[in-house]
Amino acid sequence: MSDVAYEAVIGLEIHVQLSTRTKMFCGCELGFGEPPNTRTCEVCLGLPGALPVANAEAIHFGLMIGLALDCDLAPRSIFHRKNYFYPDLPKGYQISQYDEPLCRGGKLGDVRIHRVHLEEDAAKLIHLGTSGRLHGSEASIVDFNRGGTPLAEIVTEPDLRSAEDAGEWLRLLRTTLRRLGVSDVNMEEGSLRCDANISIRPAGTHELGTKTELKNMNSFRFIERGIRAEIARQEALLRAGEPVVQETLHFDPRTEAITSLRSKEEAHDYRYFPEPDLTPVGITDAMLERARAAMPELPAARAERFERELGLPADGARLLAWRTELGDYFEAALADDGDDAPEPQALANWLNELVARIETDDPAESQVQPRALASLAAMVAGKRVTQNAAKQVLDRLVAEGGDPAAIVEAEGLGAIGAGDELEPVVQQALDANPDVVAKLSAGDMKPIGVIVGHVMRETRGRADGGAVTRIVRQKLGL
């Protein structure tokens, strides 16, 4: 039993705060960081007699999400009351959707979408006391500013097989939502929140194991680490012959500990019933038309375009398109119609070099202008600077910005070709390595790297490797 290989089966539930101006069912303005309880009214405080009215823009955003995820849009959907008691829920129920959601089915990338529905966010609990954590502190205050914020809940089918897959797919979803402009999708501020349903089974089998739900992870790093930790926990249980218990879990990123959050017994007794205060939502042709007209080019389509029009390989195209900021920077650099426009693949490679050198996710926030990167790529292509020297130029650009041509000029980093300048350096390298020369002369070309390396050191990477090899062959009559 202990040498059985397991595979994970993971489905995600993602809550996305919609970036409407006002709340889901009342006209209170949305914000972030306002003083507590300054954005509330009778409706979002759940005062008796208040009447909620659904926000047309939230439904519009919901339809756009449905279109982007290739869902079936329900001609008619309704809201339900989901009943439970918690201090962050003033009415004693959350208005959500149950068996008649706005969108069903669908697909994004390789992952099928189960459903998308609209609901309202709960209020924020601020825990007082020294620890500031849920356990242990004695009192909390409730800030209802967030209560009633429109949420889209996106539920996937259990199509993901690893923590890394989940992280990558979530990035695609985030980029897609960002392109749609329906949410800030900022995990740190809580506008994108993710729960994961996780089970494991012996690899190659099809029956699903008992799943657990890992709650509210608020960064990509935590999500991947949390899922990995939970998979490991379940594997350890099964290998020890113990069962996995269905429960809701909390992952503590500081200690990597996974703890049970609440007993399932009561948690799922939500006693849903149709919300009598809200009318059904009927999708009209005009609403559909407006949603379709608002659709931008989505990452999947952008990747396809990069592949088709620019000849990038599929994985490279995805890398750029799935991170909007990279795709935007890439296209900005490509659009630089200077003297020599860079070749797309070479430019993509240099963008990767840049990304590896900067702290921020968005290269546009670095010192390096898209135009500068484009011209650096073009200079390499034109053999005016070698690959190695160009990396030094890029280091300078990252540190202080500027124009690559000027840096090359000022630092004397221009490529040394086959001319008079290179020949003596090659001769010097040959003189310094008689043993290598002997091997080369005997027809063993493998150690030529020693000569090239020597020349590179002497010229600080400015020599063209091909030219060095050529001169060596000439000199030795090979």
Partner 1 sequence: MIDREQVLHVARLARLSLSDDEVQQMAGELSKVLGHIEKIAELDLDGVPPTSHVVEVPNALRPDEPRPSLPRDVVLAAAPAVADGGFLVPSPQAG
Residues binding partner 1 (CB under 8 A): 20-22, 26-29, 35-42, 45, 53-59, 76, 78, 83-87, 92, 100, 125-129, 134-135, 137-144, 260-263, 266, 269, 271, 274, 276, 278-282, 284
Choice between 76 and 457, CB closer to partner 1:
76
Q: How far is CA 81 from the centre of its chain?
A: 33
Whole-angstrom CA distances from 63 to 55, 76, 155 are: 13, 12, 15
Choice between 21 and 383, CB closer to partner 1:
21
Choice between 112 and 250, CB closer to partner 1:
250
Neighbours of 171 (CB within 10 A): 14
Provide, rounded to whole angstroms, the least separation between the CB of residue 232 and partner 1: 23
Neighbours of 53 (CB within 10 A): 13
Provide, rounded to whole angstroms, the least separation between the CB of residue 300 and partner 1: 28
Q: Which two tokens stand for residue 118?
A: 């609209």
Backbone angles phi, psi at 101, to 5 degrees: -75, 170
Provide, rounded to whole angstroms, the least separation between the CB of residue 65 and partner 1: 16
Provide, rounded to whole angstroms, the least separation between the CB of residue 144 and partner 1: 8
Q: Which two tokens stand for residue 476?
A: 């030795």
Provide, rounded to whole angstroms, the least separation between the CB of residue 208 and partner 1: 26
Q: Are the CB atoms for 317 and 284 separated by under 8 Å?
A: no
Provide, rounded to whole angstroms, the least separation between the CB of residue 134 and partner 1: 6
Q: Are the CB atoms for 200 and 231 separated by under 8 Å?
A: yes
Provide, rounded to whole angstroms, the least separation between the CB of residue 277 and partner 1: 10
Choice between 16 and 456, CB closer to partner 1:
16
Choice between 34 and 309, CB closer to partner 1:
34
Q: Which two tokens stand for residue 27?
A: 């006209």
Q: For residue 178, what is the DSSP state?
A: H
Backbone angles phi, psi at 325, to 5 degrees: -65, -35
**Which residue has 């269905």 as its token pair?**
246
Q: What is the C-alpha radius of gyration for the chain, rounded to an integer number of angstroms?
A: 29
Q: Closest Cα partner for 149 from 104, 99, 113, 95?
A: 95
Instruction: Round to whole Å and give the CA distance between 429 and 439.
Output: 14
Angle at 299 (CA atoms; ends 296, 301), nearest 5 degrees: 75
Provide, rounded to whole angstroms, the least separation between the CB of residue 136 and partner 1: 8
Choice between 82 and 323, CB closer to partner 1:
82
Choice between 59 and 154, CB closer to partner 1:
59
Q: Are the CB atoms for 129 and 152 separated by under 8 Å?
A: no
Provide, rounded to whole angstroms, the least separation between the CB of residue 253 and partner 1: 18
Choice between 267 and 399, CB closer to partner 1:
267
Choice between 261 and 295, CB closer to partner 1:
261
| Residue 39, amino acid | R
Choice between 3 and 269, CB closer to partner 1:
269
3-state SS, residue 252: strand
Q: Are the CB atoms for 64 and 295 separated by under 8 Å?
A: yes
Choice between 85 and 241, CB closer to partner 1:
85
Backbone angles phi, psi at 16, to 5 degrees: -120, 120
Provide, rounded to whole angstroms, the least separation between the CB of residue 323 and partner 1: 29
H-helix or E-strand spanning residue 387: helix 387-400
Q: Which two tokens stand for residue 462?
A: 């400015």
Provide, rounded to whole angstroms, the least separation between the CB of residue 290 and partner 1: 13
Provide, rounded to whole angstroms, the least separation between the CB of residue 273 and partner 1: 9
Angle at 229 (CA atoms; ends 360, 268), nearest 5 degrees: 105
Q: Which two tokens stand for residue 186?
A: 């900022």
Choice between 22 and 162, CB closer to partner 1:
22
Q: Which two tokens stand for residue 123?
A: 């209020």
What is the phi-psi region of residue 456: left when phi exceeds 0, alpha when psi lies from -120 to 50, beta otherwise? Answer: alpha
Q: Closest Cα partner for 302 from 285, 316, 281?
A: 316
